[in-house]
Structure 1
Amino acid sequence: MPMAAELPLNEMVLPPLDVHWVWHCHCLNHVHYLNYCNSRFGKLIDSPAIFDEENAECATERCREIWELKYPAEPFDLESSCSSKADVERGSSDICNMVEKCRSLSGLFSDAFLPETVYLVAAKSRYLDFLQLLKQCGKEGDCSLRLVPTADIHFIWLTHQSFPVGYAKDTKEIGEVTQKIAGFFAASATAEEVEETNRLWEVYNEPYERAGMVIDPMAAISRKIFNWELIAPMEDVNRVYKGLHARFLMEVCVFLRGEIQTRENTEQHFLRLRILRCHRSLKLDKSILNLRSFGKWQKTWHLFCEFGTKGVSIESRYSTTGCSFIRQTKLIDAANFTWHELARATNLIMVKSVGSMQGMVSATPPVQAPYLLKCVPDRVTDDGGAMVCDVVLRERAFRPQEGRWLTRTVLNHAGRECFVVRTRVGKGIWRRGAETPNPVKWEERIIELREGNWTYIGGSSMGYAPEKVIGTATPQRSHPNDKKVIWSLSTGDCLTIMWENELQICLENETSKETASLLEGRQLQYQPNQNHISQNSPKDEDGDYFFTLYRPSSYKQEGKAMALINFKLLAMEFSPQEDAAVIILMCMALVRTLSEIRREDLAGLLVRQRVQEMQVGLNDWGSVLLPSTTCMHLQPWYLNASEVLVSTEKTNSTGASLKYAAAEGKEELYRQAILS
């Protein structure tokens, strides 16, 4: 600080990281920083404001030169072994306390959508309105209660304080701001202060708390939904797969106010929220009886939607006949709110009229969410990837198809084909009454993954798997009686499964030597709430079929959960930082080994018939989440996986009563490949 005080105003210097961090923390308590600077230097010292990477590098080198001239005995870069013998300055204990408290700042502002530009623009606009409220309160002389900032306002306020000179100039007319705000370094806000802040904000004709902008972000339901780490677009390793489209999730709040004035009985009137795309079956109804007496904005629905849902529609309807379960309704008016319009709207809110009422939709910017994939049964294929069927035989002039592979089609969250995964089970050909495919050796039962979708023949459901092979998994073991199997993945990873005393699963990359573990059950952020288990799933049978991919972290003591696999349903949720090919191959290798250990077809691998899925767009997997509902399909899938995923299949998944063509091979061929 003494060095900075002696520098001319136009001197560009950037201190070392440790000094910069302490300086930044000190600036966040503006009153203490102002008093410190005035008492020590007689003026307010501004912090460096350099945002260009090239200029930052030059400013750091310039600071190093000045530092070495002024403090030759003190190293510029912090060394863990160095210790200063200088006397502790008066008041430095207060600075240390502030630095210690700032350790929790990252938790307060860790929402995935916070760095988005549109969110920051809206936050800045709301912060300026917040300052105007403070100024107005000062003029009226009513400062008995502090104002409580929402997370977005709080973030911009702290950022504003990090530039002390500009902050002092901007807030000069307001007076002592810190005493008027229940901020980070102040005592906790009271319920009365929260209520008063909401009341004062009504002057702006919009709700104070809305999507992504709440007073207590640590307790917000969005933290349970956005439970993954923020990543940059370039960190998504799955961008190389053209058929695998990223998911983007956003928080949405719907507010209503006003009255419906009609001649008919208002008890028959209600409002309905619908999704424009991906979840067309969703209908959320709300009676207007609870809204007629409200002149203020009332939060009516709070949900989380994929960006692919396009938007929401608020409908005003009138019930003509029937009961509450089966009734005929008449549409009076409707208003559509699309995400593209909302992203361009001021403060990320949009207001439209719905009859004589008003509807407001608030949303956060969409952020990339984990991928969702599931494997569904399909027909047996030959060595070349063609389905074993008469259609292919006729196209090939009845030339026999060689080899037999158990095949699964991998669908994304929207039910679209993106991969085909196959397990080799037999070799040879089939001729009526003459030849039949024979089992391959254990070490030849490889798993193969192909990228793309099926190529169908003449509009039929028969066809060829994509040609591009992107990965394989080969089993290895030293002795048939060993309780250890190693799967060598062509991606350079090695999956080791041991079950001598207890089940242990480890994933290691041969190049980077990075290791990860597969932990049984739903761990870390995937762990279900005990209240949910006791209410909806007393036995929690789904938990027995999950594995969590766990990786150690240098900055998280508890580590990171990078993927969740349900091996019974062959369903996967994984971070964009994890390779989809590795996750799919690992899932299939895992279920193959566990089925062999338990001598049981755990995942219905014996099913060799295409499964008909629900119509795309009717109820897409994970497209809408409504945490407050008891409907299982509107909650995170891993809480009720068997209900959310299996119920979409319209055919028998056990394979017990299904009949298969003789050309596919005998039933024993597939049982031997899976269970032994």
Structure 2
Amino acid sequence: MRCRGIWVQRYPTEPFENELDSDSQYPDARNEDLLIEVKKQRLLYSKFSEPYMSELVYLIAARERYKGFLCILQRYGDGCPRLVLAADISLLWLTHQSYPTVYAGDMEIEDINRKVVGVWEKVKEEELEATRKLWESIYNQPYEKAGGQVAMDLGEVVSVKPPVYWEVSNCDVNTKYKSMMPRFLLEVCVHVRLNPMKVMQEDMKKKFLRLRIVRCHRELKMDKPFSSFSSDSWEKTWHLYCEFGTKGVVLDLRLRGGRCFKGSSSKDMVAVLWNDLLRSPSLTLESKVDEQVRVVVSITPPAQAPYLFKCVPDRVTDDSGAMISDVVLRMNSYRPQEGRWLSRTVLDHAGRECFVVRMRVAGGFWRRGGETPSAVKREDRIIEIREGSWSYLAGTIGRLPEKVVGTATPKEPPDHQKSAWCFSTGDELTIHWDLSSSTAGLNFSLQNQTCPDSLQVKLLKGRKMQYQAKKFNSQKEKAKQNMNNGQEVDEEDDDDDEGFVTLVRFTEENPTGRATALLNWKLLVVELLPEEDAVLALLLCISILKSVSEMRKEDVGSLLIRRRLKEAKQGTRDWGSVVLHPSCSSGISLPHLQPWHWNAMAVTAASNGTDNFTKQPAFTYSPVEGGDKLYKRGIIA
């Protein structure tokens, strides 16, 4: 209807509907052709929705490939099966067609539509193979590349959905938070081909190629045996998504049997950097490793990706924002510290401290052997979020940042099965729990008092829309995956979505809803699009966890931990820095390289491979901090 209104305003003399002549016995054939074409391309936008496709450097590279494809069509189009269009070539072909007069003048190929397979059509395997071989024989380069894959639909075998949600965001509402740094992703494809003149056959079984990252994620080592490569064609060996901060990839040719029997030694290596690839007009670089292996690395331009945050336990603070510690007592001439707040530090994808969340538990003064602490009333157990990082005074002892950017205040619920919160953002959160069930009985409602439209935003339990997790074909496959991840197998475990909440917004542009954030309130992990407010998402996460703990009368998300737990050292395993495409078989035994919401516990695990929550360290807390009873009264009473 909106489209109709715009059309009528701009073209008042032209009808909006392309109506057929109802009195005619035979409809206009041109209209029939148009209808067929529209039906065929009705899902076309979804094929080109990636944000990097509007970048000039991508379009320049795609134009050169399109020219090369037209040359192949003119020269070989009649003597081979239909040629399959890659995504970047399809984009330029359709763009060319959108200028029909120019297109008709440029094209000397008759009946081109019958000679190519578009991205909206089913692909025959022999057509795809013929296209690949023809391209390789003429240009000596792999046909597919990053951002230029073939949309596979081989009969019943449907293309694998990309593991990252990548769509253009019109704005980033989080630029107001100076502590937040945007996250950029690029798609990477690595193709390998052997040089038949240089390969030594006797070393084939001992040699393998290893892929590593230049910066970040030192644990990442993906190996591929030499025997799996071919000298006849290019093989897409690795397909992954990397943050721009990883700098590039390192390809290391190694020989088994190094210093120890099970080890290996490096024979030659080459580093391919993102900046060098971006300077290449084709976004592609070819390298040789030890003259035996030819490697082609291609990327897409980096595009802004969703933010990633996780909350980690930290020390108890007082009302002034200082950590409870002898260091602070000495600095204050042993004046008692007033008030007790639980703290959680919010780390981004790169391990930077962006916010500090804290929850008020108790009030009053304490000193060693002095007054007895007491929990505050429920209505005073507020949550606040401060922007920035700790100001460290000595070691890990510090003070909170000063700027408060968000608060949540408990509201008296209508009955004991509900919990309610008022946010400083103007939103009100209501949580209802059906006592007859576990957390599956939870229901959430978020209402903005300034915009009371009930359809403006919804909180949906579980992973919905683009966050829907990978489905297993069978219970046996799921059990196998769990064993690979080091988890106990539960044949009847159906609680994969427990702790997940999807935030969906409804607008005029998206009347059916658009998921803008995914929360896991049990693990305190958040993924959000740039258009979603980070403070609102964090307030939701903490408020839900605190409410569920209170309603269930148990510490559901380990809120009683009052120490900073040991995290993986930055650069060892950086969650979200590398995500493997499902088509990359190397990712089967690397669950931490999956999207975090596919296997949240494995991806957000601590450096020792265990999660921070199910295996808590045995902490001893000083009397000044207060004992477990105090915090239980302040959390689950």
Q: TM-score range by the shorter chain?
A: 0.7 to 0.9
Superposition pairs of residues 241-260 of structure 1, within 5 angstroms? 241-259=177-195, 260=198
Instruction: Give the corresponding residue for 1:605.
Output: 559
Question: Which of 90, 93, 96 lines up with 2:32 in the alignment?
Answer: 93
How far apart, in 2, do the equivalents of 1:183 and 1:296 lie? 24
Q: Deviations over 1:266-318 (max 9, x none)?
A: 43222111101111111111221232x51432222222211111110001122
Q: Give the match's secondary structure for 2:36.
A: helix
How far apart, in 2, do the equivalents of 1:265 and 1:143 lie? 40
Instruction: Give the corresponding residue for 1:664.
Output: 625
The amino acid across from 1:198 in the alignment is R
Contact (CA 8 Å) 2:53, 2:59: kept in 1 or not?
A: yes
The amino acid across from 2:606 in the alignment is S
Q: Give the match's secondary structure for 1:196.
A: helix
Question: 1 or 2 for the larger relative contact order (CA 8 Å, sep ≥6)?
Answer: 2
Q: Deviations over 1:186-239 (max 9, x none)?
A: x7443222222112111111111122212216888674323343213xx11112
Instruction: Give the corresponding residue for 1:359.
Output: 295
Question: Which of 533, 537, 542 lines up with 1:588 in the alignment?
Answer: 542
Instruction: Give the corresponding residue for 1:120.
Output: 59
The alpha carbon displacement at 1:90 in A equals: 2.8
The amino acid across from 1:374 in the alignment is K
Identity of aligned residues (%): 45
Contact (CA 8 Å) 2:503, 2:518: kept in 1 or not?
A: yes
Are 1:640 and 2:575 matched, yes or no? Answer: no
Are 1:111 and 2:65 matched, yes or no? Answer: no
Could you say if the C-alpha distance between residues 565 and 213 of structure 1 is closer, same or farther in structure 2, counting changes exceeding 3 Å?
same
Could you say if the C-alpha distance between residues 476 and 209 of structure 1 is closer, same or farther in structure 2, counting changes exceeding 3 Å?
same
Contact (CA 8 Å) 1:477, 1:484: kept in 2 or not?
A: no
Could you say if the C-alpha distance between residues 535 and 548 of structure 1 is closer, same or farther in structure 2, counting changes exceeding 3 Å?
farther
How far apart, in 2, do the equivalents of 1:20 and 1:332 lie? 64
Q: Give the match's secondary structure for 1:638.
A: coil
Q: Give the match's secondary structure for 1:670.
A: helix
Could you say if the C-alpha distance between residues 239 and 220 of structure 1 is closer, same or farther in structure 2, counting changes exceeding 3 Å?
farther
The amino acid across from 1:306 in the alignment is E
Q: Deviations over 1:90-141 (max 9, x none)?
A: 3333333333433222123223332222221111111111111111126xxx
Superposition pairs of residues 69-218 of structure 1, within 5 angstroms? 71=13, 78=16, 90-91=28-29, 92-137=31-76, 142-172=78-108, 174-183=109-118, 188-202=122-136, 203-216=138-151
Instruction: Give the corresponding residue for 1:317.
Output: 254
Q: Give the match's secondary structure for 1:274.
A: strand
Could you say if the C-alpha distance between residues 176 and 527 of structure 1 is closer, same or farther in structure 2, counting changes exceeding 3 Å?
closer
The amino acid across from 1:280 in the alignment is R
Are 1:536 and 2:481 matched, yes or no? Answer: yes
Instruction: Give the corresponding residue for 2:466.
Output: 525
Could you say if the C-alpha distance between residues 634 and 220 of structure 1 is closer, same or farther in structure 2, counting changes exceeding 3 Å?
farther
Instruction: Give the corresponding residue for 1:675.
Output: 636
Contact (CA 8 Å) 1:611, 1:651: kept in 2 or not?
A: no
Q: Give the match's secondary structure for 1:380.
A: strand
The amino acid across from 1:535 in the alignment is K
Contact (CA 8 Å) 2:50, 2:166: kept in 1 or not?
A: no
Contact (CA 8 Å) 2:257, 2:265: kept in 1 or not?
A: yes
Could you say if the C-alpha distance between residues 620 and 540 of structure 1 is closer, same or farther in structure 2, counting changes exceeding 3 Å?
farther
Instruction: Give the corresponding residue for 1:231.
Output: 169
The alpha carbon displacement at 1:184 in A equals: 6.3
Could you say if the C-alpha distance between residues 620 and 264 of structure 1 is closer, same or farther in structure 2, counting changes exceeding 3 Å?
same
The range that moved more, 539-548 or 310-319, is 539-548
Contact (CA 8 Å) 2:359, 2:381: kept in 1 or not?
A: yes
Question: Which of 339, 343, 355 lines up with 1:407 in the alignment?
Answer: 343
Instruction: Give the corresponding residue for 2:486.
Output: none
Contact (CA 8 Å) 1:143, 1:180: kept in 2 or not?
A: no
The amino acid across from 2:429 in the alignment is L
Instruction: Give the corresponding residue for 1:550.
Output: 504
Could you say if the C-alpha distance between residues 350 and 18 of structure 1 is closer, same or farther in structure 2, counting changes exceeding 3 Å?
farther
The range that moved more, 366-375 or 560-569, is 560-569
The range that moved more, 219-228 or 590-599, is 219-228
Are 1:268 and 2:206 matched, yes or no? Answer: yes
The alpha carbon displacement at 1:504 in A equals: 1.7
Could you say if the C-alpha distance between residues 217 and 420 of structure 1 is closer, same or farther in structure 2, counting changes exceeding 3 Å?
farther
Instruction: Give the corresponding residue for 2:533.
Output: 579
How far apart, in 1, do the equivalents of 2:19 and 2:235 lie? 58
How far apart, in 2, do the equivalents of 1:432 and 1:489 lie? 36
Q: Give the match's secondary structure for 1:658.
A: coil
Question: Which of 442, 457, 461 lines up with 1:516 in the alignment?
Answer: 457
The alpha carbon displacement at 1:17 in A equals: 6.2
Contact (CA 8 Å) 2:392, 2:398: kept in 1 or not?
A: yes
How far apart, in 2, do the equivalents of 1:651 and 1:94 lie? 58
How far apart, in 1, do the equivalents of 2:237 and 2:183 lie? 26
Are 1:340 and 2:275 matched, yes or no? Answer: yes
Instruction: Give the corresponding residue for 2:398.
Output: 463
Could you say if the C-alpha distance between residues 216 and 507 of structure 1 is closer, same or farther in structure 2, counting changes exceeding 3 Å?
same
How far apart, in 2, do the equivalents of 1:263 and 1:98 lie? 53
Structure richer in helix, relative to its length: 1
The range that moved more, 111-120 or 88-97, is 88-97
How far apart, in 2, do the equivalents of 1:188 and 1:206 lie? 25
- Whichever of the two has the greater Rg, that structure is 1
Instruction: Give the corresponding residue for 1:288.
Output: 226
The range that moved more, 653-662 or 385-394, is 653-662
Could you say if the C-alpha distance between residues 664 and 131 of structure 1 is closer, same or farther in structure 2, counting changes exceeding 3 Å?
same
Instruction: Give the corresponding residue for 2:409.
Output: 474
- When the two structures are aligned, how many residues end up with a matched partner? 599
Could you say if the C-alpha distance between residues 362 and 619 of structure 1 is closer, same or farther in structure 2, counting changes exceeding 3 Å?
same
The amino acid across from 1:302 in the alignment is H
The range that moved more, 628-637 or 156-165, is 628-637
The alpha carbon displacement at 1:494 in A equals: 1.4
The amino acid across from 1:388 in the alignment is I
Contact (CA 8 Å) 1:455, 1:464: kept in 2 or not?
A: yes
Q: Deviations over 1:336-370 (max 9, x none)?
A: 11111111213211111111122110112222221
The alpha carbon displacement at 1:385 in A equals: 0.8
Instruction: Give the corresponding residue for 2:363.
Output: 427
Contiguous gaps of at least 5 residues in structure 1: 1-15, 22-59
How far apart, in 2, do the equivalents of 1:274 and 1:655 lie? 32
How far apart, in 2, do the equivalents of 1:472 and 1:409 lie? 15
Instruction: Give the corresponding residue for 1:614.
Output: 568
Q: Give the match's secondary structure for 1:530.
A: coil
How far apart, in 2, do the equivalents of 1:646 and 1:633 lie? 8
TM-score by structure 1 length? 0.82
The amino acid across from 2:457 in the alignment is A
The alpha carbon displacement at 1:495 in A equals: 1.0
How far apart, in 2, do the equivalents of 1:136 and 1:412 lie? 52
Question: Which of 313, 331, 334 lines up with 1:398 in the alignment?
Answer: 334
The amino acid across from 1:636 in the alignment is P
Are 1:305 and 2:258 matched, yes or no? Answer: no
Q: Deviations over 1:383-442 (max 9, x none)?
A: 111001011111122221111100111111122211100000111111222213321110
The amino acid across from 1:194 in the alignment is L
RMSD value, Cα: 2.9
TM-score by structure 2 length? 0.87
Could you say if the C-alpha distance between residues 290 and 651 of structure 1 is closer, same or farther in structure 2, counting changes exceeding 3 Å?
closer
How far apart, in 2, do the equivalents of 1:394 and 1:604 lie? 30
Question: Which of 366, 374, 380 lines up with 2:310 in the alignment?
Answer: 374
Q: Deviations over 1:545-594 (max 9, x none)?
A: 22222334656676332222222211111222111100111100000000
The alpha carbon displacement at 1:644 in A equals: 2.3
Q: Give the match's secondary structure for 1:332.
A: strand
Could you say if the C-alpha distance between residues 101 and 224 of structure 1 is closer, same or farther in structure 2, counting changes exceeding 3 Å?
same
